[in-house]
Structure 1
Amino acid sequence: MKNVRRFDGKVGDYVRFRERYSPEILLPILRSVCGLTRDWLVADIGAGTGMLSDVFLANGNRTLAVEPNPEMRQMCRIAHEGNLNLTMIDGTAEATGVNSSSVDLVAAGRAMHWFDREAAFAEFRRILKPDGWVGIIAFGRTEKGREENLVLEQILRDFSPSHTDTHAGYEVYGQLKSYLPRDFYHQEILKTISLNWQDLLGLTLSLSHSPSRADPHYPLFERALRDFFERFASDGEVQLETRYWINLGRFEPV
């Protein structure tokens, strides 16, 4: 439940400022590696406001957006009003509410580290068709790389009490091949984004572990972020390195 409520009060910043997944980048890879067609049923687990779902909707797929946070579900519902290919489900990665052996592809975006991994992978296996695929696809700023990324990461560590707890779950991304050994595929794609001050502030506030505006430490946090922006900005924008972290694979038959 703690993880379900982590984004309470952050959904507005999340939907406005988070980095968007690109169908133009992801769909060719999914078609080539997995054989994705528009006939597949996709379950987006921890769907949030539907940003990864949008990739599959752009391909014409019927998509089940499974999300336990009420604010996220509501925003997703509003953003996709009238899209008959999207179905919202109040469920978790460990108990999706999706029918057994019904899904061609289980996808998860920037959410896998919130799941109970053993229970989640067991649930993924339950809802997948026998030869179904799992895609764990994350996209966002890197923690290393450019100096800007390193300095911003340190600011977050200094002002985010839950930062260590949040990042402890990231180790799962290095273990995915052991869960999905059949036809496992991994690719990383580096890019950069340019952010003005409002973009930087909004993106940072959308993170689960950043101080909220009601936090007593928030004024110091915003001052540190402003100092960061003034140090690195050129022509009113700061550049950060981003990375697609694409992992595709299938379970071994039981």
Structure 2
Amino acid sequence: MTEHSGRFTGKAAEYAQYRERYHPDVVLPLLREWCGLTAEWTVADIGAGTGMVGDLFRANGNRVIAIEPNAEMRDACASLHADDGLYDVLEGSAEMTGLPDASVEMIAVGRALHWFDVEAALVEFRRVLKARGWVAILACGRKEDGREENVEFKKLMQTKTGRDLYLDPLLAVYRRLDTLFAGGRFFHADVPGELRLEWDELRGLTLSLSHAPMPSSAAFADFETELRGYFDRFEQDGRVTMTSCTWMSAGQFAE
């Protein structure tokens, strides 16, 4: 995981402000149904970024331990949660969390699994989880198909960032999540939604992506011009609308 963590250096501010938020009323009822989630559980948020998954579980009353390898993202997470006595932020990775054996009831991963050495991370998750503990794998954001706005945004990112060269192969793990818990228990649900973004929101969300060029890069001016052209093409009443989704999975390892 640490080999990829530098991809988010310089992006913490946009990430914290503009990334899509998880909705507790969407996620928590399913985790309670599937896993028996209660407020008494301790949840380890692995690859925590600025802490959005942790915020979801704090809304349920859980103690959260955020594990994040990128120093800038970790500092932002710590700053945002400095006044929360039930939210701890630690340096670590999915493969080496630094957590004690059998110390948490749930491991949560949001928009980060594809950065992990998955097999090494699963070994670590088994070590850290209490008996019959759960792994929740969550993501929310725009879909890459559906509305024309979604399709054209994907084309823009492919053309201007070369994301296919490294990111798309990593995303293949999401097509085999059930196999990570072979012989155990596994649940999955897709909850559809919608994003309606003003220009500043679209720009900030896009810049928070690992493959988007930094404002200091030579490629940025052309990229921003193309992004603005996309916005002007599709905006209605000052906003671009995209189909979105909350993807939810929960797994329990075989005993």
Displaced runs of 4 or more, over 3 A: none
- Match for residue 247 of structure 1 among 223, 246, 249: 249
SS of 1:148's partner is helix
- Match for residue 204 of structure 1 among 197, 202, 206: 206
- 1:37 aligns to 2:38 (yes or no): yes
Match of 2:57 in 1: 56
Task: Give the residue type in structure 2 aligned to 1:12.
Answer: A
CA distance in 2, matches of 1:141, 1:17: 13
Task: Give the residue type in structure 1 aligned to 2:87.
Answer: L
Match of 1:81 in 2: 82
Are the counterparts in 1 of residues 185 and 254 from structure 2 also a CA contact under 8 Å?
A: no
Task: Give the residue type in structure 1 aligned to 2:224.
Answer: E
> 1:54-203 residue pairs with structure 2 within 5 A?
54-181=55-182, 182-203=184-205
Gaps of 5+ in 1: none
SS of 1:4's partner is helix
Task: Give the residue type in structure 2 aligned to 1:114.
Answer: W
Distance apart, 1:20 and its partner CA: 0.5
- 1:225 aligns to 2:227 (yes or no): yes
1:138-188 per-position Cα deviation (integer Å, ceiling 9, x unaligned)? 111111111101100111111113443012111111111111232210100
Q: Aligned-residue CA RMSD in angstroms?
A: 0.9
CA distance in 1, matches of 2:122, 2:50: 22
CA distance in 1, matches of 2:67, 2:225: 37
CA distance in 1, matches of 2:43, 2:243: 29
1:1-57 per-position Cα deviation (integer Å, ceiling 9, x unaligned)? 431111000111111110001111111111111000011111000000000000111
1:94-123 per-position Cα deviation (integer Å, ceiling 9, x unaligned)? 000011111100110000000000001111
Identical pairs, percent: 44
- 1:11 aligns to 2:12 (yes or no): yes
Task: Give the residue type in structure 1 aligned to 2:187.
Answer: Y
CA distance in 2, matches of 1:217, 1:23: 38
CA distance in 2, matches of 1:45, 1:2: 15
Gaps of 5+ in 2: none
CA distance in 1, matches of 2:89, 2:132: 24
More helix, by proportion: 2
Aligned pair count?
A: 253
CA distance in 2, matches of 1:50, 1:109: 10
CA distance in 1, matches of 2:208, 2:165: 17
CA distance in 2, matches of 1:241, 1:139: 11
Are the counterparts in 2 of residues 156 and 163 from structure 1 also a CA contact under 8 Å?
A: no
Distance apart, 1:249 and its partner CA: 1.1
Distance apart, 1:190 and its partner CA: 1.1
Are the counterparts in 2 of residues 38 and 60 from structure 1 also a CA contact under 8 Å?
A: yes
Are the counterparts in 2 of residues 141 and 240 from structure 1 also a CA contact under 8 Å?
A: yes
